[in-house]
Amino acid sequence: MSDERVDVTRLQRLVPEVLSEQQRVLYARISGGPRSAGPQALRLVGDDGALEGPFNAMLLCPVLGTALQASETSTSKASRTPSPTCTPPACRSS
């Protein structure tokens, strides 16, 4: 077995230098938003400056990425307990 590492990145890592204006705005919202505050189980930004994981993919379609970021921001401010109207009938207490 070889000790060589193979890079199997599926998507191009979008570093800040190559971002469009829309991508830059989204990048700033993600990297400077609530996710960046406090302890992190996983890195948000890599050594090269690119966002990690699904956050990098969000930059591919800034309109969708912005909507996802906005929904996470509003969800993090609200209670994460589902409302009775969102709870499946079998799980509701009488």
Residues 1-23 have pLDDT tens digits of 566 776 665 789 999 999 999 99
Residue 88 inside a domain? The answer is: no
Residue 40 banded pLDDT, cuts 50, 70, 90? confident
For the CA atoms of 84, 89, 91, 93, what is the dihedral angle to 10 degrees? Answer: 60
pTM of the model: 0.67
Classify residue 56 as exposed, middle or buried by CB count within 10 Å of its CB (0-12, 13-18, 19+). Answer: buried
Q: Name 27's Cβ contacts closer than 8 Å, sequence gap at least 6.
A: 16, 19, 51, 59
How many structural domains comprise the chain? 1
Q: Distance of CA 31 to CAs 18, 25, 28, 75, Å? A: 16, 10, 5, 17
- What is the share, in percent, of the chain residues with pLDDT greater than 70? 69
Task: Flag whether pLDDT at 57 surpasses 80.
Answer: yes
Residue 72 inside a domain? The answer is: yes
Residue-range definition of the domain harbouring residue 58: 16-77
